[in-house]
Structure 1
């Protein structure tokens, strides 16, 4: 009798709540942000094979366009710059040797132990003073070009001069390496082409915590994101990316490339991407999968903050081929994966909030 009395009292209300939960719950195509006040709801895009192919093509096109002008197949030779120290020797004329001044450089500016050797310093105007030749503008010239210019000047005073000219200390051009490398700091550009791989190797290599897919190259006001594995997949040698003086290379940490999984999954968590790659299927699998008790497999959402605004993708995991599409859908850093609750779970939670313990009392009272 108590059971019947209780049911008769609350059955109409429970039926009303059930209908409300079924109507106000998440719907296919409604998006996880439906009903949130404060602005328009972003449209929901269903994850299909066409969408996956379009995203892959857009990602490949964006990467190839941004890095096309950074790739140099044949690096140019080193050019002399302001502040470099030159070693100049005129053979059979020892009286012209040792005319340079000692450079006031530090050990950090000139590689190798000990004080920097004496030499001819290229001044702030790019010139060098040499006996008989006078002031020579050598900035912007290669060693061979500078040697030819000096030989031509000395030929007016010395018969068939034999000149040796080389850069003794490289101080005019530098790049800066920062982030997840063993030896962050500045690197001087010398006669060996300063490619991206060369700069990373001089910095001692990347740490285990480095994200090889998020190496940012800053050149002036421009920023380029370089992924080593992505370049290799596209057939681009990372050693062909030539750095310019003043470039800043930042190697980001893997902790900055996380994907967040929440909602009706077994274990909500933040996942670290594997060198910039993580698929929707892998993220759901590492979170234990969709909860069999409360998750709605029709409503798996991916919320992404894009430059053009927030984008919301939806996967219906009950459809044929859904697992294959989830494996092909690649996530991006800071993506949010949300699995909505089923209508039955929403109804149960609504009743539990209004009448704590009511369902438990019904079940207990109905037992013989």
Structure 2
């Protein structure tokens, strides 16, 4: 007599494995306070809630950054004569002294400048800042402006001439320069003359900025300190870019737009790197570029922005389910190299943890439970 097969029973999990799964499930549940447990020996970074107060603090920080540019404000000092400058000197009433004299090129000049100086009439300032002139000898004119150098020469000539009238002008400006680097058409040296050189003119002399340039990340290095110039923000807040006056030795660098990307990862529809627009990108815009939070696996309560500031990291957190959260996200401005991370919801975390612990067992258990 045939016997019926015994009823199929659902598999029973071994007790140690069941305990491990319970532990994994508890650990994978979303933390309602947004504070993640750090590994042993690491320092936990408490997320900073993105609120209206934080937006006000960021706006105040941007205004302070614009005020820091006051170091470049103020009238430009007269051009100071230096080594390599070529001078035109006329002593009125004494044509024998005003006769053209070919300058002797100094060793500090480039080969092209030496060739030009050897054919231009004038008096060359030596590497030590001294000028040789008949009846006056060697004069230390380095660091003086045209008026001061002319008065010094007239005082020296007054020993042999009666009330000499001297006109001194700079023919070739070679001693003072600035350096322009980065995303401009013609990077390199730009000489300074007796007209003030402001930032916009310096960029125009370098051929202008390339389409790949990030106008919000222009750096000026002076005296070992670096200052950031955000041209769009400066204009937006009523600033005047022509008030940023450069001086000898300044280094101007225009960053590339490729360096100003923001990275979106985690539970977004399309994880990707998003380029900033003229140095600006809000959290809402970045999420929109990535297709938003995944409706299946993302936890809208846990949207994080990770930012590196010097040697420290900052973590900001947004709960998109709170009233007004989207309006706040629209005004929270991201910085270059920020990482936006959307955490998974509790069910997604549980499934992933289970799959890592017992690969392939979850589908088998589901099939067994349904009698397949």
**TM-score, length-scaled by structure 2:** 0.86
CA distance in 2, matches of 1:139, 1:22: 76
Contact conserved, 2:180 with 2:187, CA < 8 A, in 1? yes
CA distance in 2, matches of 1:133, 1:359: 100
The structure-2 alpha-carbon separation of the partners of 1:195 and 1:331, relative to structure 1 and needing over 3 Å to count, comes to same
**1:310 paired residue number:** 313
Q: Which of 328-337 and 63-72 deviates more? A: 63-72
The structure-2 alpha-carbon separation of the partners of 1:323 and 1:128, relative to structure 1 and needing over 3 Å to count, comes to same
Shift of 1:317: 0.5
CA distance in 2, matches of 1:87, 1:129: 12
Shift of 1:202: 1.0
CA distance in 2, matches of 1:120, 1:16: 89
| 1:156-205 deviation digits (Å, cap 9, x = unpaired) | 54455443321111111111111111111111111121222221111111
Q: Which of 200-209 and 116-125 deviates more? A: 116-125
Shift of 1:93: 3.0
CA distance in 2, matches of 1:93, 1:29: 88
The structure-2 alpha-carbon separation of the partners of 1:6 and 1:132, relative to structure 1 and needing over 3 Å to count, comes to farther
Contact conserved, 1:103 with 1:116, CA < 8 A, in 2? no
Shift of 1:336: 0.9
The unaligned stretches of length 5 or more in structure 2 are none
Partner residue of 1:200 out of 197, 200, 203: 203
CA distance in 1, matches of 2:223, 2:151: 34
CA distance in 1, matches of 2:82, 2:339: 49
* 1:28 and 2:32 matched: yes
Contact conserved, 1:107 with 1:116, CA < 8 A, in 2? no
**2:127 paired residue number:** 124
* 1:182 and 2:157 matched: no
* 1:290 and 2:293 matched: yes
Contact conserved, 2:267 with 2:293, CA < 8 A, in 1? yes
Contact conserved, 1:29 with 1:44, CA < 8 A, in 2? no
Contact conserved, 1:228 with 1:238, CA < 8 A, in 2? yes
Partner residue of 1:71 out of 70, 73, 79: 73
**2:167 paired residue number:** 164
Shift of 1:6: 6.0
Partner residue of 2:61 out of 34, 58, 75: 58
Contact conserved, 1:181 with 1:210, CA < 8 A, in 2? yes
CA distance in 1, matches of 2:135, 2:359: 102
Partner residue of 1:42 out of 23, 41, 45: 45
Shift of 1:361: 6.8
> What SS is found at the alignment partner of 2:302?
strand
> What SS is found at the alignment partner of 2:262?
strand
Shift of 1:262: 0.3
Q: Which of 154-163 and 83-92 deviates more? A: 154-163
CA distance in 2, matches of 1:76, 1:365: 86
Please give the residue correspondences for 1:1-368 in structure 2 after superposition, counting only pairs within 5 Å: 5=8, 7=10, 9=12, 17=21, 20-31=24-35, 33-61=36-64, 63-72=65-74, 74-96=75-97, 97-104=99-106, 105-106=109-110, 109=113, 116-159=119-162, 161-307=164-310, 309-353=312-356, 354-356=358-360, 358-359=362-363, 362=366, 366=370
The root-mean-square deviation of aligned C-alpha atoms, in Å, is: 3.1
> What SS is found at the alignment partner of 1:271?
strand
Shift of 1:131: 1.7
Shift of 1:27: 0.8
The unaligned stretches of length 5 or more in structure 1 are none
| 1:113-147 deviation digits (Å, cap 9, x = unpaired) | 89651311112332212222333332222222323
Contact conserved, 1:260 with 1:271, CA < 8 A, in 2? yes
> What SS is found at the alignment partner of 1:56?
helix
Contact conserved, 1:214 with 1:252, CA < 8 A, in 2? yes
| Total equivalences in the alignment | 363
The structure-2 alpha-carbon separation of the partners of 1:258 and 1:364, relative to structure 1 and needing over 3 Å to count, comes to farther
The structure-2 alpha-carbon separation of the partners of 1:346 and 1:145, relative to structure 1 and needing over 3 Å to count, comes to same
CA distance in 2, matches of 1:46, 1:216: 31
**TM-score, length-scaled by structure 1:** 0.87
The structure-2 alpha-carbon separation of the partners of 1:218 and 1:116, relative to structure 1 and needing over 3 Å to count, comes to farther
